A and B are shown apart, each in its own frame.
Chain A
Amino acid sequence: MSARDDILGNIRRSLGVKGSETIRKQIVADRLERAPKGVIPKRGQVSGEERIALFKTMVETALATVTEVASPAEVPQSIALFLRNHNLPATLRMGDDPRLKAMPWSETALEIAHGPSEGHDLNAVSHAFGGIAESGTLAMVSGPDNPSTLNFLPDNHIVVVSAKDIAGDYEAVWNRVRFAYGKGTMPRTVNWITGPSRSGDIEQTLLLGAHGPRRLHVVVVRD
């Protein structure tokens, strides 16, 4: 007997079931189909300005920085200013995201590179799929638009998120993922990012910049 059949057989023996019971199959199929939500904390159940304010507060609680711009056209200047303020070189890597590409980068002195990171970039910008106000979390999806390596290899990661894409809770983001990719289907990687990389492994002292970005900067765009 294969290991697979052996393990499933042993599970069924222990549970005292055959695996063919219609009622059990229905319960499982129903749960997978309906995906019930469970307990949703009230904290994130706010809308409009209140939600964006909560998101920004939680981003900062997670030790990231956040700024806000009135339109996509203001993003390049805002990022250039952030890099300058931190004495960082005027270089920036990004993927093929059409929202980022449409921004007026030529108005800045930034030297732009495209494509995934090979591990030696200082700065990168990604466009988030969404934000989650409850915990100040960014939801990123993989793909040529925003390669996942940009989320982890550069020292300084800048993430642009549209104000309209900031949800109250994780469940609202899953609904959008289902709408975009189809129920039961996912992109290769979804990253939830809450603050910059850190470690407490040496004497339980919190240190930023373990393996991922030392800085995480979020730009909220109003449209």
Chain B
Amino acid sequence: MTVHSTSPQFKQNAARALNDSQLQKALGNVKQGFIDKRQAAADKLPEFEALRDAARDIKNHTLEHLDLYLEAYEEKVKASGGHVHFARNADEARDIILRICRDAGAKTVTKGKSMISEEIGINHHLEAKGIRPVETDLGEYIIQLRNELPSHIIAPAVHLNATQVEEDFRRVHTHLDAKRDLSEPVQLLTEARAVLRERFLAADVGITGANFLVAETGTSIIVTNEGNGDLTQILPKTHIVLASIEKLVPTLEDASQLLRVLARSATGQEMSVYTTFSTGPRRSADADGPENYHVVILDNGRSSMLGTSFEEMLRCIRCGACMNHCPVYHAVGGHAYGWVYPGPMGAVLTPSLIGVDKAGHLPNASTFCGRCESVCPVRIPLPKLMRHWREREFERHLTPATVRSGLRLWGFFARRPALYRLATRAAMGALAFAGRQRGRFSWLPMSKGWTKYRDFPAPQGETFQARWKRERQGGRA
């Protein structure tokens, strides 16, 4: 059992998101910031496109030899004094982590940001067993206070405004002066820093994710801007790394190639502030660092994606560029997707992990505009993969009857070109005539889903095919 999903209610979730004025205000920040910053970073590095190719090739090579790289990695972790645990599913991963925490006598556990930990729902599990998990990434800390899932894979609290964060801090940090000024974002940051500093110093176990695992050296890599992941892993006596099987890369050089595209694609930085390479527990002469180092490697359905068209999704390095550039994500935000992974990458990955019967709406929530694929640092053909899910959904008769009969009707005409041309010509002519006064329709039969939110522009009377034919002939003449 993984985290509960509301993906089957995507349409209701989306409708609610569109009417949420706080959310719509916050989503404005996504559209403004991320896109320009990524473009500027890409423009500053002439080799950026070549690096994207290299990143894609490294991931493909690793996936094709994943069994062998996992074995090599495991051997290296053991050689450096660490432990490797394999988990088939979320249940097993949670049990392993709980066991390690109990062995360490843990009362509190600090956590670096990890999407896999959201995927397996570790926080609720630890809480239920009397261990207190504390998220330390500022965004994750905020959403933990609100008992929410992240709405973005690198900016978990992007759906919130500063006033909402202030309310949460006042509600939870009751030991502080009630009259303190929290009107500026920097005051919120300073307060969180002070509160979390004590948690860092008191924690018995630190759990981080991994952006990459390096087979050559048995190293786990985390990337942060805050430094929270580092305090999580160097202060407690035990460091647990939670990572899924596709995080493997062969060498430090390969990791360096991927790191060159990761931050640029995510936040537009040349390099994230902290890139940390951890190998085993502290050495005997070391003055700090964890005494125990455990890596939990999670499958949770990924090994079955290999060898299928969805194998390409396993290249994903979780930069968030696809959602930053997605008009659907801009409109509804991350929570509407109903599970852990939102946006285009979530629309492809979620059906693989929780089933297309539950998450079939997600790959349908796309206009196939292709912006996600155009910015993906590892060149995952996200629209193509969403289309594959739509085909599977149709094949398995999961699509609603009205949609199926509509598609069947369209299919009937599409297979008969003469009839199709005749029908579309008649329809476009009639619509052009009916809309000749206003140039648009605020109501059309059977089109409420469109006209409820915006007017439908009146066609000019000619079909696309007719115009195409005319212009091509004109061009030749």
Q: Within the assembled complex, what's the spacing in Å between the Cα atoms of A188 and B92?
A: 28
Question: CB distance A15 to B307 under 8 Å?
Answer: yes
Q: Within the assembled complex, what's the spacing in Å between the Cα atoms of A197 and B382?
A: 33
Q: B181 within 8 Å of A by Cβ?
A: no
Q: Within the assembled complex, what's the spacing in Å between the Cα atoms of A144 and B282?
A: 11
Question: CB distance A198 to B226 under 8 Å?
Answer: yes
What B residues does A116 contact at CB under 8 A? Answer: 287-288
Partner of A201, one of B47, B139, B200, B271: B139
Q: Within the assembled complex, what's the spacing in Å between the Cα atoms of A148 and B276?
A: 11
Stretch at the interface among A23-31, A67-75, A82-90, A158-166: A23-31
Question: CB distance A210 to B138 under 8 Å?
Answer: yes
Q: Within the assembled complex, what's the spacing in Å between the Cα atoms of A220 and B448?
A: 67
Question: CB distance B271 to A192 under 8 Å?
Answer: yes
B173 to chain A minimum Cβ distance, whole angstroms, is: 15
What A residues does B286 contact at CB under 8 A? Answer: 142-144, 147, 188
Give the nearest-CB partner of A16 in chain B: B307
Q: A61 within 8 Å of B by Cβ?
A: yes
Partner of A3, one of B54, B92, B139: B92
Q: Mark B141-178, 1 if CB is under 8 A from A, else 0.
A: 01000000000000111100110010000000000000
Question: CB distance B157 to A7 under 8 Å?
Answer: no
Which residues 424-470 of B have a CB within 8 angstroms of A? none
Question: CB distance B273 to A38 under 8 Å?
Answer: no
Question: CB distance B58 to A38 under 8 Å?
Answer: yes
Stretch at the interface among B63-71, B348-356, B362-370: B63-71
Q: A186 within 8 Å of B by Cβ?
A: yes
* Residues of chain A at the chain B interface (Cβ within 8 Å): 2-4, 6-8, 10-12, 14-17, 19, 24-25, 27-28, 31-32, 35-43, 58, 61-62, 95, 115-119, 134-137, 142-144, 147-149, 151-153, 170-171, 174, 177, 184-205, 207, 209-213
Which residues 280-294 of B have a CB within 8 angstroms of A? 280-283, 285-289
Known: A39-B47, A212-B274. 20 other contacts (CB 8 A): A6-B88, A11-B306, A39-B50, A184-B76, A188-B280, A188-B286, A191-B274, A193-B273, A194-B274, A196-B273, A201-B137, A201-B138, A203-B161, A209-B189, A209-B190, A211-B136, A211-B227, A212-B227, A212-B230, A213-B227
A119 to chain B minimum Cβ distance, whole angstroms, is: 5
Partner of B226, one of A136, A184, A210: A210
Q: Within the assembled complex, what's the spacing in Å between the Cα atoms of A153 and B282?
A: 18
B305 to chain A minimum Cβ distance, whole angstroms, is: 8
Q: Within the assembled complex, what's the spacing in Å between the Cα atoms of A19 and B275?
A: 33
Q: Within the assembled complex, what's the spacing in Å between the Cα atoms of A213 and B230?
A: 12
Stretch at the interface among B6-14, B118-126, B251-259: B251-259
Q: B247 within 8 Å of A by Cβ?
A: no
Question: CB distance B273 to A152 under 8 Å?
Answer: no
Question: CB distance B307 to A184 under 8 Å?
Answer: no
What B residues does A144 contact at CB under 8 A? Answer: 285-287
Q: Within the assembled complex, what's the spacing in Å between the Cα atoms of A95 and B285?
A: 12
Question: CB distance B193 to A11 under 8 Å?
Answer: no
Q: B72 within 8 Å of A by Cβ?
A: yes
Question: CB distance B67 to A17 under 8 Å?
Answer: yes
A212 to chain B minimum Cβ distance, whole angstroms, is: 3
Partner of B234, one of A19, A39, A137, A189: A189
Give the nearest-CB partner of B33 in chain A: A204
Q: Within the assembled complex, what's the spacing in Å between the Cα atoms of A12 and B136?
A: 37
Partner of A187, one of B30, B50, B226, B279: B279
